[in-house]
Amino acid sequence: MQKFFYFIALSIFFTSTVFSQEAKFKAVSVGFYNLENLFDFERDTTIWDTEFTPWGKKVWTEEKYNEKQANMAYVISQLGLDVTPAGVSILGVCEIENKRVLEDLVKQNALKDRNYQIVHRDSPDRRGIDVGLIYNPLHFTFLDVEMENIDFILDDGDTLKTREIMHVKGILDGDTTHVLVNHWPSRSGGEKRSAPRRNKAAEKVKEVVDRLKSKNPDVKVIVMGDLNDDPTSRSTKSILQAKGRVKDVKSSADMFNPMYDPYRRGLGSNAYRDNWSLFDQIIVSPGLLDKENDGYFYYKAQIFNKKYLIQRSGQYKGYPFRTFSGDKYQAGYSDHFPVVVYLVKKV
């Protein structure tokens, strides 16, 4: 089994001094990718998916669906290869319509040899878009999944249901690991007006993480998703207490956000009106920062923004190369870049 992990030699700095120790580590990569409306091409009368049908606004045909699937699979096949030749061990995804599209995804030519398995549950979202998880069973053993509801009471008293938080528990090469996959409410209506919904989602994540930490302060938790907020937003920085530097993680209540530094340097995973945001984030608990433990700990993070994923011309030049420009199909990938974190452990 270990042949699927990459053994690397690197210098890990254990203190702020110049002291370093050369050692061998094995690494795994964990990622997240917003797949930009990966819908099938058939009508589902229980959700609002008419635009993604052959007769809908997007003229979404089987041919286009198959091309989109192949594009998504190729990108996923390339994630993590910089450090882990076996690719990502765990990948959270969002903007998927149903279980079928995930099943079709892992069967694509670019991925089928990895035997990826999936975790999926239907969401109460009225458009039917869900979150999901893909994992390599050689690296990660799935144990359980629990869906955490987030309901909002509107001004008229009605309840608005949104995407649930998927809480997956498993064993990552001997380490019990919890993965929370998120797709928080959008900024529709404006950032300020919509912020309370994302803050409530963050509160739910915080509740779950705190519950896990109360049982084991060193628990290994990975929070990932399209949060529709940046690393400096109140939802992530204050509610989740996600710090931008490891040295600022001073209590078990804190988290570490590896995406803070890239964001500070002007990098992003999605763009809107010529402004970059880093909505796609992977945040880890203090249990994944302890370099003295026998299991995995955080090594580095990456925004996967390869040249072929960037729009070369037109209205969205320089943006992520998306599938649609409005309702015009352009055979791209996604309007978001994937993000990856690497975890290492001593051997």
| 215-237 residue pLDDT tens | 999 999 999 999 999 999 999 99
Give the containing element (helix H, strand E) for 267: none
Q: Confirm if 75 and 338 have CB atoms less than 8 A apart.
A: yes
228 vs 184: CA distance, rounded Å:
6
Q: Tell me the per-residue pLDDT of 130-149, one tens digit each, with 9 for 90 and over.
A: 999 999 999 999 999 999 99
∠ at Cα 164 (57, 148), nearest 5°?
170
Please, where are the H alpha helices in the chain? 62-78, 99-106, 191-215, 234, 260-264
Residue 155 has a pLDDT of 63
Q: 3-class SS at 16? A: coil
Please tell me which residue, 65 or 294, carries the higher pLDDT value: 65
Q: Which helix (H) or strand (E) holds 223?
A: strand 220-226
Burial level of 260, CB count in 10 A (0-12/13-18/19+)?
Answer: buried
Q: What mean pLDDT is reported for the chain?
A: 92
Domains identified in the chain, total number = 1
Kindly state the DSSP code that residue 231 receives in the 8-state scheme: T
Residues paired with residue 28 on neighbouring β-strands, in sequence order: 343
Above 60 in pLDDT, residue 19? no
- pLDDT value at residue 53: 97
Report the C-alpha gap between 205 and 215 in whole angstroms: 16
Check: CB of residue 97 under 8 Å from CB of residue 38.
yes
Q: What are phi and psi of 279, to 5 degrees?
A: -75, -25
Report the CATH number that the domain containing residue 170 is assigned in CATH. Answer: 3.60.10.10
State the residue range of the domain holding 225.
2-346
Residue 54 has pLDDT above 50, yes or no: yes
Q: In this predicted structure, what is the pLDDT of residue 3? A: 44
Residue corresponding to tokens 């990856």: 340
The pLDDT of 31-49, averaged and rounded, is 96
Six-digit token pair at 18? 């110049």
For residue 97, what are its two tokens? 């319509």
Per-residue pLDDT at 22: 67
Rounded CA-CA distance 235/196 in Å is 9
- Is the per-residue pLDDT at 118 higher than 90? yes
Percent over 70 (pLDDT), the chain: 92
Evaluate whether 277 touches 270 at the Cβ level (below 8 Å).
yes
pLDDT of residue 162: 84
pLDDT at 324: 95
